[in-house]
Amino acid sequence: MDKLEVVGKPIKRIDGIDKVTGAAKYATDITLDNMLYAKLLRSPHAHARVTHIDTTAAEKLPGVKAVASILEVPKVLQYWYFLRTEKKERQIYLLDNIVRFIGDPVLAVAAVDEVTANKALSLVTVTYEKLPDLQDPVAALEEDSLKIHSKGNVAMKAEKGFGDIQEGFDRADIIVENTYHTSKQKHASLEPIGSCVAHYQSDKSLTVFSSTQLPHWSRHYLAGALEMPINKVRVIKPYTGGAFGGRCGLIHGLEVMCSWLSRKAVRPVRLSFSREEDFIATESRHPMTIKMKTGATKEGIITANDVKIIADVGGYGTHYIGVIADCLSTGGALYNIPNYQFSGTAVYTNKSLCGALRGYGNPQMNFAQESQIDIIAEKLGLDPLEIRLKNYRPKGEMDPVLLEEIQSNGLPECLEKGAAEADWDAKRRQLPGTDGKKRGIGLSIMLHGTGAAGALPDPASATVMINADGSVNLLTAAADEGQGNRTVLAQVASEVLGIDVEKITVSDTDTAVTPLDCGTHGSRQAYSGGLAVQKAATQAREKMLSFAAKILDVKQQQLGIGKGRVFDLSDPENNIPIQDLMRQTQIGDMGLCEQVIGSFSGIASAMPGYYGAIFAEVEVNTETGEVRVIKLTSAFDVGRALNPDFVEGQITGGGAMGIGFALTEGLMVKDGHILNGNLTDYRLLRACDVPEIVPIIVESNEPTGPFGAKGVGEGAMVNVASAIANAIFHASGVRLTNLCMTPEDILQKLEAKTALTHLFEKIARNCYFYSYFMAPQKNIIIKSADYKSDFHCWSM
């Protein structure tokens, strides 16, 4: 590892020049000859049956070339887990006349320009039969007579446990029980979600330019929806202005509808959603209600955890299975809790659909679980850092959910380095202050998985071709949303081949020329994509060495590669430049004429967890309820930082996104209407809101990863909200259990806390206070307005 030349170095992005000069082409920049422009008509009702659509006047309008509606175009639901069999795949496609949220696509028009398309939409008449709608997942769960989908309102229910949960609570000296609520966060990427160009041609082939994170799976979905052979469908991914999970498949009402119009018109069609359409009609984070009951001994050893989750899926389900599974796997494996019970229920409501968003269920679960751990530490008088070190699951133990051995875990080092940078010990002892602005510091930890090997079809592929001049073409469908994936994969190839990274060209993401890849999700590309490139490049390297061995008259195992040369390890002067070697094997030796090509396609051998510790320092204005994050210290175990600059960028960006999730971001929904569906009203952090964020890289060397690497991208925002919540409590004594944590909530809790303090002072003057509250008892139940939950508190 110490001798690595390229891996571990801050190599500049290979796409950087294109982006800063404006040469990079995004989906909205793509213009094809004879192209049409499409617009969508969306449902004004949260739940209705479309009984009739009259498009006569619209189709007569000059310039209108095609019309398509939900009566003929299937919706694409679920995710690639359902591609495993033909029977499962049929569940992906839904063709019916029901709209299930306000903004659900009903019809699309393609015309010669956007003005004509919009005018045509105004001429369409849609007749709806309104149906009762369900906005509350708890009500939908209990409702039997009203079904949002034919199978009912429960999308899925998962239950898993290990140990004996009741025995765990019997052993506990303290039991903390709480209910947490999380928000409907939006991706809010720089480029609005929802742009594509579809081109159906006379040879019955379809080319789609889409900013999808999953080009190959999107190709499968399109082929199934349009009943076309897969080889006739081509997906090309242009540059993308951020994704965060929002493009993890096909976009509801976008690519399929656009392709349908193109097939009807036999002309290219562009369909782009506005920012408002993105907010009201594409996927968001699953809001969750999490009931958690946690037991611990008075020494701070956690004995049991009982988790019950209700997740609001919205009108249609895509990633809910994976999201619920991620809540289980991350929550159940982070701590060494011997008795664990988990129940997760995904419920349909008549709200905009939910899906994949950075963290994939983990931020919701982590907010609840890390708040619980902090509450227990406070009740027992323990340092929050100490209780986590007592209970985390270390390297060498078995993950109880994935049933894999933990082969790397740098969490203790994350805590150590993070605490030192944040000045944890001193700031925990520091009084919050007596004026209206009180300071506090909190921490939280997290575990997140890398990739999905074994849990989902999760292939990665790469082909390495070395040219006669020693340059390299790397073919990969590893989608890059801006993280720098393609640069990192070029670094891996460069390190293995001993060829300068500037001589390596990484292919565009095009399913017609790149081998099968699962795409960008689950913090997987540096790990899974890196492994594929490492193996393909190793195969090419071995071929180079075999050719060089003959020319240099040396055994193959005596050869090394570096700095563009193949050389004799015992006599480095005996060497040959790679470009001379390749020219000889491809052109010079006319009896050979072989290009060196290495290929790999398959899955990673593991799904390793990566770990992080975040320390948040906040200032709480007790007069206004405003919270200002002063500093985030974010330490993450990434196995090996293949490109440290990119890793620090992910940690910093995740920190900013996590602060938004904690304090400001959440779609406000009333009677099915999204009230803040634009960047004016949806409160993203401004530059002046972002505090000092200190990224700390910890390298634990994951043995299954390329050069020891594992993931980081999603996890960087997972435990920000919980760290801030814990810091707010340290500053103000107020425990917040709802996201977003707003000034209004803080003021309400402060008022309740003051009232409760006055009540206890009054009771203390009563002689019964000592006999009831101070008598030695176990599991005293306190119903606290401050916490809005029941606490079972161990009494000294």
Residues near 742 by beta carbon (within 8 Å), at least 6 away in sequence: 625, 663
Helix (H) / strand (E) containing 632: strand 627-637
For residue 665, pLDDT over 50 is answered with yes
Please report the pLDDT score of residue 431 as a whole number. Answer: 77
Lowest mean pLDDT of 173-177, 524-528, 538-542, 788-792, name the range: 788-792
Residue 157 scores a pLDDT above 60: yes
Q: How confident is the model at residue 754 (pLDDT cuts 50, 70, 90)?
A: confident
Strand 460-466 relative to strand 596-602, pairing? antiparallel
Both structure tokens of 786: 């401050």
Alpha-carbon span 755 to 732, nearest angstrom: 15
Q: Which residues of 199-227 are buried (b: 16+ CB within 10 A; e: fewer)?
A: bbeeeeebbbbbbbbbbbbbbbbbbbbbe
Give residue 399's pLDDT: 93
Q: What is the DSSP string of 520-577?
A: S-TT-IIIIIHHHHHHHHHHHHHHHHHHHHHHHTS-GGGEEEETTEEEETTEEEEEEE
The CA distances from residue 133 to 75, 296, 481, 706, in Å, are 20, 42, 36, 50
Q: Which two tokens stand for residue 757?
A: 């303090």
Confidence (pLDDT) at 785 = 31
List 599's β-bridge partners, or say none: 463
Over residues 229-234, mean pLDDT = 98
Closest CA relative to residue 313, chosen from 185, 183, 179, 155: 155
412/401 Cα distance (integer angstroms): 22
The pLDDT of residue 479: 84
Tokens read off for 295:
């037991």
Q: What is the mean pLDDT of residues 196-213?
A: 97
Percent of the residues in the chain that have a pLDDT greater than 90, as a whole number? 91
> What pLDDT sits at residue 432?
76
Cα-based distances in Å from 57 to 64, 257, 294:
10, 21, 63
pLDDT at 386 over 60: yes
Q: What is the DSSP letter of 2?
A: T
pLDDT of residue 648: 98
Task: Give residue 766's pLDDT.
Answer: 66
C-beta of residue 548 within 8 angstroms of C-beta of residue 386: no
pLDDT at 392 > cutoff 60: yes
Structure tokens at 745: 């909530």
d(CA 26, CA 477): 17
Q: Mean per-residue pLDDT for 276-281?
A: 98
**CA atoms 321, 324, 325, 326: torsion sign:** positive
State the average pLDDT for the chain. 94
Residue type at position 387? I
8 Å CB contact between 65 and 262: no
Summarize pLDDT for 309-335 with one digit per residue, the tens.
Answer: 999 999 999 999 999 999 999 999 999
Kindly report the length of the chain.
796
Phi, psi for 82 (deg, rounded to 5): -85, 0
Per-residue pLDDT tens over the stretch 609-618: 999 999 999 9
Mean of pLDDT values over 199-206: 97
For residue 72, pLDDT beyond 50:
yes
Burial of 308 (0-12, 13-18, 19+ CB in 10 A): middle
Percentage with pLDDT > 70 across the chain: 95
- pLDDT tens track for 328-341: 999 999 999 999 99
- pLDDT for the residue numbered 2: 61
Checking if the pLDDT of 770 tops 50, the result is no
- Tokens 């004996």 identify what position? 164
Q: Which residues contact 759 (CB under 8 A, 6 or more apart)?
A: none
d(CA 196, CA 346) in angstroms, rounded, equals 30
Give the chain's end-to-end CA distance (angstroms, integer): 53
Average pLDDT over residues 9-17: 95
How far apart are alpha carbons 487 and 18 in whole angstroms?
13
Cα(622)–Cα(469) distance, integer angstroms: 68
CB atoms within 10 A of CB 672: 22
Name the pLDDT band for 789 (thresholds 50, 70, 90).
Answer: very low
Token digits of residue 350: 């008549």
Paired tokens of 344: 């997760």
Radius of gyration of the chain (CA): 28
Residue 794 Cα to chain centre, angstroms: 38
Identify the weakest region by mean pLDDT among 463-472, 726-735, 770-779. Answer: 770-779
pLDDT tens column, 75-113:
999 999 999 999 999 999 999 999 999 999 999 999 999
Categorize the per-residue pLDDT at 435 as very low, low, confident or very high, splitting at 50, 70 and 90. confident
Q: What is the pLDDT of residues 593-641, one digit of tens each?
A: 999 999 999 999 999 999 999 999 999 999 999 999 999 999 999 999 9
Bridge pairing between strands 206-210 and 233-237: parallel
